[in-house]
Amino acid sequence: MTNKMWGGRFASGPAEIMEEINASIDFDKRLFAQDIAGSKAHCRMLAETGIISGEDAAAILQGLDTIASEIEGGDFTFSRALEDIHMNIEARLAELVGPVAGRLHTARSRNDQVATDFRLYVRDAIDHLDGLLADLQRALAEKALDHAATVMPGFTHLQPAQPVTFGHHYLAYVEMFARDRGRLTDARKRLNESPLGAAALAGTSFAIDREMTAKDLGFDRPMQNSLDAVSDRDFALEVLAAASIAATHLSRMAEEIVVWSTPGFGLITLSDKFTTGSSIMPQKRNPDAAELVRAKTGAVFGAFTQLLIVMKGLPLAYSKDMQEDKVPVFTALDTLSLMLTAMTGMVRDMEPNVQAMRKAAGAGYSTATDLADWLVRELGLPFREAHHVTGEIVAYAEENGLTLARVPLDAMQKAEPRITQDVFSVLSVANSVKSRKSLGGTAPSNVRKLARSWIKRLETDAASG
């Protein structure tokens, strides 16, 4: 009795443990829509080129439509004995249309079939993630516009550095997520070539039309080398690399939400929607959604590393190791999707504590750079000298428990006799941020202009599809 999948070469079926380690249907069944789309494109091409008859093609296409409906309706029975999504669909097709189903596999292999399915799936996932990133950008830009003049501390080393605005801080993440979208867009362009028709590794002797199937499936062109077509997983690695960077940005933002929401900072408030309580401490409001976003970054990083390790030692062309490409990709892209959705909800939900932000913005002598800049601009001091004079004034303020704005003029003049009363005009946090009008600076006028520009750009992108 020959093996029903591998034909006459094998006289018996696999051992139980072989079936267990070999089967991929538990996870690759999510590729059913892409597998059916690829099979339909291949079938139409086979009919168009005269490799199979139009009558056979019509029966196959009808059968594939029926299978798609069954799977979507939850009426399809998946078999682990049939290993993967390709064989499950082919076996059901044979039940529906009879021996004609066997003609569908003419001039293709599971190698180019899975490579095509996987590219189609990742392409769809990129489009989905791009939409989620755009939603997050929009939420950030709208919040930035609302808080273009809300002063908060800007940090370096998590120490108060210079005053910025809450809107300016949020727009920094808009820029980061724009780069994430750009990386995914670039990956999509390189991904968008069709492996279908490369067959097992060497192409096929049938006079197929690979341009036709590529166009049918929305690819820009067929891949040019059959060995590369079935063995390449660069597209998955590149998307996981982009996903890892995006997850890093989300984790950094999550960390800030965790820190800002603590009583020690008290810069923002999250509602009940994105916090949890404690089973023993009734007063607690824990920023669990942010903490989980921060933690889930590890799953994305791990998936990228896992696939790199799978691929690093493989000779051309296909090896069964590559069956292990899908789980890390599915895990990473599912995780990133969840992280983005949660972060967008938190951004829309959170409220800045404006008074606490303003108070914190003035802590740590954060307008010291404004004082040094004033000494350079008004008195003509070299910046290094102005830096030294400012340091003396800060030391005086610290010794006497004063803010810079409350240091007496005569005390400042001991450090630099030419300082005038006008210096106090630059020492408030509000005036500090207003003065930062250089391109990319935190001035509220800059923030409003850039936030409106981003909102308009995102609306235009959404309208154009």
Q: Which residues have a catalytic role annotated?
A: 157, 278
**Hey, what are 184's tokens?**
């995914």
**CA quadruple 339, 72, 220, 87: dihedral sign:** positive
Q: How far is CA 341 from CA 104, 132, 289, in A?
A: 40, 7, 11
Residue for token pair 């998946």: 78
**Hey, what are 320's tokens?**
């069964």
User: Checking DSSP bridges between strand 351-352 and strand 193-194, what pairing results, if any?
Assistant: unpaired
Largest alpha-carbon pair distance within the chain? Answer: 103
Residue for token pair 């990709």: 329
Neighbours of 203 (CB within 10 A): 17
Q: What element of type H or E holds 308?
A: helix 288-311
Q: Is the peptide bond before 317 cis (omega within 30 degrees of 0)?
A: yes
Q: Answer left, alpha or beta for residue 158, where phi above 0 means left and psi between -120 and 50 means alpha.
A: left
User: Closest Cα to residue 173, out of 248, 240, 223, 100?
Assistant: 248
Q: Cα-atom radius of gyration of the chain, to the nearest Å?
A: 30
Give, as one character, the DSSP assignment of residue 314.
P
Q: Answer left, alpha or beta for residue 83, where phi above 0 means left and psi between -120 and 50 means alpha.
A: left
The b-or-e profile of 391-416 (16+ CB within 10 A means b, else e) is eebbebbeeeeeebbebeeeebeebb
Q: Answer left, alpha or beta for residue 364, where phi above 0 means left and psi between -120 and 50 means alpha.
A: left
Q: How far is CA 58 from CA 40, 45, 65, 171, 451, in A?
A: 10, 12, 11, 54, 54
In this structure, are residues 242 and 183 in contact, taking their beta carbons and an 8 Å threshold? yes
Q: How far apart are CA 252 and CA 290, in angstroms?
A: 10
